[in-house]
Structure 1
Amino acid sequence: MPDSGDVQPVRGADTGDSQVRVYAVAPRENADPDEIVDGFLEAMTSDDPGFATARKYLTKKAAQSWKPEESITVLTTAPDREQADRNADPENQGRAFPLSGRKIATVDARHAYQPNSPTEYLQSIHVVQQPSANGKGKEWRIDGLPPGLVLGEADFLRNYRSVNKYYFASGEDQVVADPVYIRQRQDPVTRMDPVTQTVKALLEGPTNWLKPAVDSQFPSGTELKAGVTTLTTDDQSTLRVPLNHKADRAGGEACRRMAAQLLFTLGDLTSVRVEQVELLGSGGQSLCRLGKGQALEFAAVGNTDREEHPYFVDEHDKLMMLLVGDKQADAPVEVPGPFGKGTVPLRSVAVDRGETRAAGVGKSGRELFVSSITTEQDPLPPVLTSRAARPADRLSAPSWDGRGDLWVADRDPAAPQLWMVPDGTGHPVKVRTPWLGDDARIESLRVSADGVRIALVVTRGEHTTLQIGRIQRQTTGEEPVVSVLDLQPAAPRMESVTAVSWAGPSRLVVVGKEAGGVQQIRYLQTDGSTSATSVLPGLNGVTSVTAPHKDTAPVVADSGDDGIVRLAPGTNWRPVIKKGFSPVYPG
């Protein structure tokens, strides 16, 4: 228990229960306007086929024009329905009921979650009287309402779940995760089960944000065969996917890559085990088959069976590797080369995905070095140098992508710049960052294994936020043109962010504070969404954090006074090394 410091209130959240189901109830006879509005808001949270019951609360015209599948507005809690102003619509004898709340995100027609800092939400539902079905009187019905669905976060997470679609990085053989939200159960509009919804979402193509940097191998216009609403595996865990005529000519390598996209995408669904995919043409003919093992050649992180090791810089500024098995004692191991020997004292470090090389920023923060960590060698000249006067304004901690390219930010106020070093040893390339002006500074960065996305901790004024940028590469001339574009917030509800690490294909582990809150460590999707189980156990004074690509290994953090600590799955934080800093997994 802490024995000093201020007491701060922490607001709990209703996380909802994914096992709870809401069944819509039709409006009762002679229901008053308040009941009509409340009943409709409740019916929007149900799985009612076609939202048929919800439409019973609408006038015929409104029922025909309402498109619940086109968008979802997510509020912190269910929308607050205020009392109507009876004098607001005297001419039509209608009533307008204001709806309010705090908007935190929208989900578009392509299922993409788009977060925002909580903002005020103000809309209204308008009701009028119309002749009742029996013609003997009048009944209240809704003739004006907000577009799409309007749900509180608890209802949204109860009805929807995040899945990763996979596409190929443009011109590359590695797949890239593209998170979207699908219904937990059967979709009310399409009547598709979650597996079929996921396949349909994949065939629709990448989300608008990711689209410029990835390719889909499915021919344009490819859809599921008409009428398919359920996809199930056979006793060999093979999933047969019938497609329309657009896919009939697909074969060979293109078909294998299509099947690989499906296998990676379906691998995130715990409700189905798919070991093999068979694509079927419009006539039922087999186009190709691919097994899960064969698809691994397209994974962003190769050799997924290999154990990942965390590394850190010890009190003597040397690079050390940690052994963090569940049953064996934690022990640091000195790595070969100048980083392990202390010939090049380190300030920060990054280890490549194959764990053969490391990049280190020297103690002064001015120079970036690259060295082998598997064989002995003499120190090499720096690959990049900063001219900033203060150490804190020089080079950030570096990061490797899965292509073997090295990334680092120069935080020099006179010339802020993001750099990419091809293969870690090539001529440094200035990354185009049109958003990096006088008011922005990159504090730290982490590049995804696929090399298509970059997590950036950016300071503007007094705010330090987490942004995700899309990496685009062009090779029109002798020197490649690399850009980081379209930054989007990944932790919009956090007032300040201290550290970030990738924790899988589309998940991040983030250290930061919400407004008025205390420091917390939590998992976030790259689209900024979260879940009820995303908060990790509390830990004081965290300055850096790192997570493995697979969640079977522990999260490792630098907690100030406690030194290097680890968090194995299902346990609490455990001290590893009392004196050390800059813990990193490969990447």
Structure 2
Amino acid sequence: MRIGRILRGAVIALALLGLTACASLPVTGDVRPGLAAGQSGGGSDLAFVPQGPSNGMDPKDIVRGFIDAASSPKESWSIARQFLTADEAQKWKPDAGVTIDTGSAERRFDVPDVAKEATSTSVHLSLQQAGAVDETGAYSGAPVNRAAELMFTLAKNKDGQWRISAAPDGIVLDADSFAAADVFAPYALQYFDPSWTYLVPDVRWFPKRENTASRIVQSLVSGKPSPWLSGAVRTAFTGDIALGRNAVTFDSQIAEVALNDAANKADPVTLARMRTQLERSLSSLSGAGVLQVKLTSSGRDLNAGAATAAPTAVDPRPLVLTDKGFGYLAGGELTPIDGVSVPLQNFPEQITAIRAASGAQRVAVQGVSGIVYAVADGRTDEIDARPGLIPPALDPFGYIWTVPRTAPSSILAWPNSASASASRSLAGPSDAGQITAMAVSRDGARLAMAVTANGQVRIEVVAIARDDRGAPTGLGVADPNVIAWPAAALDIAWLDDTTVGVLATDAASPLLRQQQVGGPARTVDVPEATQTIAPGSPTTSVQLFGNGVLWVRSGPAPTQVSTNVKVLAVQIGGQPGG
């Protein structure tokens, strides 16, 4: 029986805890698929319109009705505010965050006996929390079925009707409603990596309202990246530069962002980077259709240019090794790669794993012996011969990452030079006894790992600190609040810039967890023989491989592409460097 059927309805969460530099991916059941970061699901006018309070409702019904009404942010939660006293309606801050629970059936309302003549009382709400969104919009997963409590104070108004006089800020949503992204939706704030080469997404959840664009801009300009990304990202909005006006104004598809006078002193490169961060962050607003951002200060156009950000897309063609050679597969034909295909055809041992950056001009290869090699320009160089190595990772700056299965803390990152003195030693999770898979994100800012500690498997995404040339200098600290993965993790790949794919097993049958970094996940079925996963294009596409067969899944079911494949190479996107 599949885990998803046992624990249906639970949120699969990425624990982005505010004071850690690492994120753990808890997987405890299925959810309804949420939208990818970059999709807002339309405008803020939602189809569901809750009911306001009616005369004679008792305190429990008032609180229950308030929670239901808070699922509609329409007109600044006007319906939910009807359940509050006039004073509390002004104080309550619904967009301060979300308490995500396992469902309304698990909610328990405790109301003390209230005399008929009483004018005040309280309602104690107990629920099973499955996650949360904080005041910055950052999502965190909580252990499933963790008890949480909320307290509401009520008073009778002049008409003798109960209203809530004190309510916790934020709203309560069940896991399915949250994952559907009908109330709060994911938006990716864009930061640069330390070398100013790539844009790195930091997913935040904001209410779907008319002023969402302003919330995104405020968070990017005046806020900070999520703490777990410390050392992995940087922003052009530094020093005294701040917003001159909180609201974003629109003229056709051009968004005007007003900055303070300090922006007048910014150099053209900084202005271009600021504009690019804003444009890419606002591009996720489907309703606004933002194509361009204009930066102004005191009403004057700053004439900001646009910065270049390296692409992270992968080639849509599967990159494979077959009896005919190595190359891109399309229409049954193989397109070879200069300097790489011939050495792989003549490789001295059976190949078990291949990792390739954009263009596949340099690939990391592992043979059946376990030794990891670099292949480029017609050369095959031995990189790491330590015993027990897991399949290598490759990053967009050209570094090949290796680690022994039983030594997760002994990660090495190798540049184009294969000499041992050139490798970078990076301390992985010190508490883990085993690591089974790892993958570097396409922007090079994050590392996903499947590790085992004390008999429990967990998935972590940690920040990668780099110098301004892209060389890795360290990893984020492990999250102390680890949540177990309930199945063996066979393979990990970044399916897009915000989604980690984890190939796992459930009672010997494989399944694919598509985990949004900074949000919930969904589970999809894969063919029984699946052993390797790789990203495809468009980003909703996943390549699957096992026992010589290659499938591509772009819809509800995988499509068989070839039955003559030896190895599916995992493309990471980005530009090869080093």
TM-score, normalised by the number of residues in structure 1:
0.79
Match of 1:141 among 154, 157, 163: 163
Residue pairs, 1:430-441, within 5 angstroms: 430-433=425-428, 435-437=429-431, 439-441=432-434
**In structure 2, distance between residues paired with 1:6 and 1:344:** 37
Written as runs of structure 1 = structure 2, the 5 A alignment for 1:263-282 is: 263-281=279-297
Deviations 1:276-310 (A, max 9, x none): 332111x21111244xxx54x22253xx6x84543
The answer to whether the 8 A contact 1:492-1:528 is kept is no
Q: Measured at CA, do residues 42 and 104 of structure 1 come closer, stay the same or move farther in structure 2, by a change above 3 Å? A: same
Q: CA deviation at 1:331?
A: 4.6
The question of 1:243 aligning with 2:229 is answered no
Q: Secondary structure of 1:259's partner?
A: helix
Alpha-carbon shift at residue 102 of structure 1 (Å)? 3.2
- Cα distance in 1 for partners of 2:173, 2:215 equals 20
Whether the 8 Å contact between 2:231 and 2:464 is mirrored in structure 1 is no
**How far does the alpha carbon of each residue in 1:189-210 deviate from its partner, in whole angstroms, 9 at most, with x for none?**
xxx1x33332233222322222
2:306 counterpart of 1:288:
no
Map Cα deviations across residues 447-506 of structure 1 (whole Å, 9 max, x no partner): 012211011111224332221011113599xx9772211446999685223322112221
State the match for 2:566 in structure 1. Answer: 580
Structure-to-structure mapping, 1:78-477, within 5 angstroms: 78=104, 80-87=106-113, 96-130=122-156, 132-134=157-159, 138-143=160-165, 145-156=167-178, 157-186=181-210, 192=211, 194-203=212-221, 204-220=223-239, 222-226=241-245, 228=247, 231-234=249-252, 237-281=253-297, 283-290=298-305, 295=307, 297-301=308-312, 307-314=315-322, 320-324=326-330, 328-329=331-332, 331=334, 335-365=340-370, 367-372=371-376, 375-377=377-379, 379-380=380-381, 382-386=382-386, 388=387, 394-413=388-407, 416-423=409-416, 425=418, 427-433=422-428, 435-437=429-431, 439-473=432-466
Q: Partners of 2:4 and 2:473 in 1: how far apart?
A: 45
Does structure 2 conserve the Cα–Cα contact (< 8 Å) formed by 1:491 and 1:528?
A: no
Higher relative contact order (CA 8 A, sep 6+): 2
**Cα distance, 1:6–1:254 mapped onto 2, change above 3 Å:** closer
Conserved 8 A contact 1:553-1:568: yes
Could you tell me how far 1:56 is from its partner in structure 2?
3.8
CA distance in 2, matches of 1:416, 1:319: 36
After superposition, the Cα gap between the structure-2 partners of 1:482 and 1:507, relative to the gap in structure 1 and judged at 3 Å, is same
Shift of 1:397: 1.2
Partner of 2:17: none
The C-alpha deviation readout for 1:77-106, integer Å capped at 9, x for no partner, is: 247443535359999886554434432221
Q: Secondary structure at the match of 2:226?
A: coil
Q: Distance in 2 between matches of 1:6 and 1:178?
A: 32
Q: 1:172 to 1:344 in 2, by over 3 A?
A: farther
Letter of the structure 1 residue corresponding to residue 68 of structure 2:
E
What amino acid sits opposite 1:567 in the alignment? R
- What is the count of residue pairs matched by the alignment? 535
CA 271–59 in structure 1, closer or farther in 2 if over 3 Å, else same = closer
Tell me what 1:556 maps to: 543
Unaligned runs of 5+ in 2: 10-30, 35-40, 574-578
TM superposition shift of 1:107 = 1.0
TM-score, normalisation: structure 2: 0.81
Cα distance change of structure 1 residues 218 and 586 upon mapping to structure 2, 3 Å threshold: closer
Judged with a 3 Å threshold, the aligned counterparts in structure 2 of structure 1 residues 271 and 90 are, in CA distance, closer, same or farther, namely: closer
Q: Note the C-alpha offset of 1:570.
A: 7.2
How far residue 370 of structure 1 moved from its aligned partner, in angstroms, is 0.9
SS at match of 1:201: helix
CA contact (8 A) 2:101 2:172 kept: yes
After superposition, the C-alpha distances for 1:48-98 in whole angstroms (9 at most, x for unaligned) are 434344344335665555432322111232474435353599998865544
Q: Is the 8 A contact 1:309 1:321 kept in 2?
A: no
- Inter-partner Cα distance in structure 1 for 2:283 and 2:74: 28
Q: Distance in 2 between matches of 1:88 and 1:16?
A: 43
- Cα distance, 1:421 vs structure 2: 0.9
TM-aligned CA deviation for residue 569 of structure 1: 5.5
Q: Which moved more, 1:217-226 or 1:37-46?
A: 217-226
Instruction: Assess, with a 3 A threshold, how the Cα gap between structure 1 residues 217 and 552 changes in structure 2: closer, same or farther.
Output: closer
Map of 1:544 onto structure 2:
532
- Quick check: 1:338–1:344 contact (8 Å CA) kept in 2? no
Q: Corresponding residue for 2:37?
A: none
What is residue 189 of structure 1 aligned with on the other side?
none
2:320 touches 2:329 (CA, 8 Å); kept in 1?
A: no
| Residue of structure 1 in register with 2:551 after alignment | 565
Q: Equivalent of 1:501, from 487, 493, 499?
A: 493
Classify the secondary structure of the residue corresponding to 1:119: strand
Whether the 8 Å CA contact 1:473–1:483 is kept in 2: the answer is yes
Q: Give a deviation string over 1:245-265, Cα, whole Å, max 9, x none.
A: 342332411101111112222
Q: Which is higher, the Rg of structure 1 or of structure 2?
A: 1
| Cα pair 1:44 1:150 within 8 Å, conserved | yes
Q: Which position in structure 2 is the counterpart of 1:391?
A: none
Name the SS for the 1:182 alignment partner: strand
What is the one-letter code of the residue matched to 2:225?
Answer: P
When residues 330 and 440 of structure 1 are mapped into structure 2, their CA distance, relative to the original with a 3 A threshold, is farther
Kept after mapping to 2: 8 A contact 1:563/1:579:
yes
CA contact 1:114–1:527 (8 Å) conserved in 2:
yes
1:33 to 2:33 alignment: no
Native 8 Å contact 1:125 1:142 kept in 2: no
Q: In structure 1, what residue type is equivalent to 2:198? A: Q
Gapped regions of structure 1 (runs ≥ 5): 187-191, 389-393
SS in structure 2 of the partner of residue 41 of structure 1: helix
- Greater shift in the superposed pair: 333-342 or 80-89: 80-89
The residue type paired with residue 250 of structure 2 is T
Aligned partner of residue 258 in structure 1, secondary structure: helix
CA distance in 2, matches of 1:322, 1:572: 19
Structure 2 SS opposite 1:248: helix
Q: CA–CA distance in 2 between the matches of 1:350 and 1:474?
A: 23
Within 2, Cα distance between the matches of 1:221 and 1:539? 54
2:476 matches 1:485: yes
Q: 1:481 to 1:546 in 2, by over 3 A?
A: closer
Residues 16/146 of structure 1: CA separation in 2 closer, same or farther (3 Å cut) = farther
Do 1:330 and 1:576's aligned partners in 2 also have CA atoms closer than 8 Å? no
Residue 207 to residue 11, structure 1, CA distance change in 2 (3 Å) = closer
**How many angstroms apart in 2 are the aligned matches of 1:164 and 1:462?**
35
